[in-house]
């Protein structure tokens, strides 16, 4: 999936909130079931300044999947580290 990201241009008290939305193709398979179709996602999160250029990132996404997926609405929480350059 491809996404657009809208975020504040600067950190506010060590936090940089953002909103994201996008869409694209997905594929899932489980045993004999398989589905390939399109979906959309929306969500948001925050980048947290840790030390120097290192940032933590936490975000939430809501996926709405078309076709006949196992679940047509999927919630995800992601976390990771980023290096700002």
Q: Chain centroid to CA 78: how far?
A: 7
User: pTM of this prediction?
Assistant: 0.81
Query: What pLDDT tens digit does each residue of the chain (85 aa) get?
Result: 899 999 999 999 999 999 999 999 999 999 999 999 999 999 999 999 999 999 999 999 999 999 999 999 999 999 999 898 8
Residue 5's nearest CA partner among 49, 50, 57 is: 57
Burial of 42 (0-12, 13-18, 19+ CB in 10 A): middle
């Amino acid at each position: 999936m491809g996404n657009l990201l809208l975020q504040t241009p600067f950190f506010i008290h060590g936090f940089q909130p953002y909103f994201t939305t996008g869409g694209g193709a997905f594929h899932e398979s489980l045993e004999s079931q398989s589905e390939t179709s399109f979906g959309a996602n929306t969500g948001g999160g925050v980048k947290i300044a840790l030390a120097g250029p290192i940032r933590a990132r936490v975000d939430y996404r809501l996926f709405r999947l078309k076709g006949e997926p196992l679940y047509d609405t999927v919630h995800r929480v992601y976390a990771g580290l980023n290096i700002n350059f």
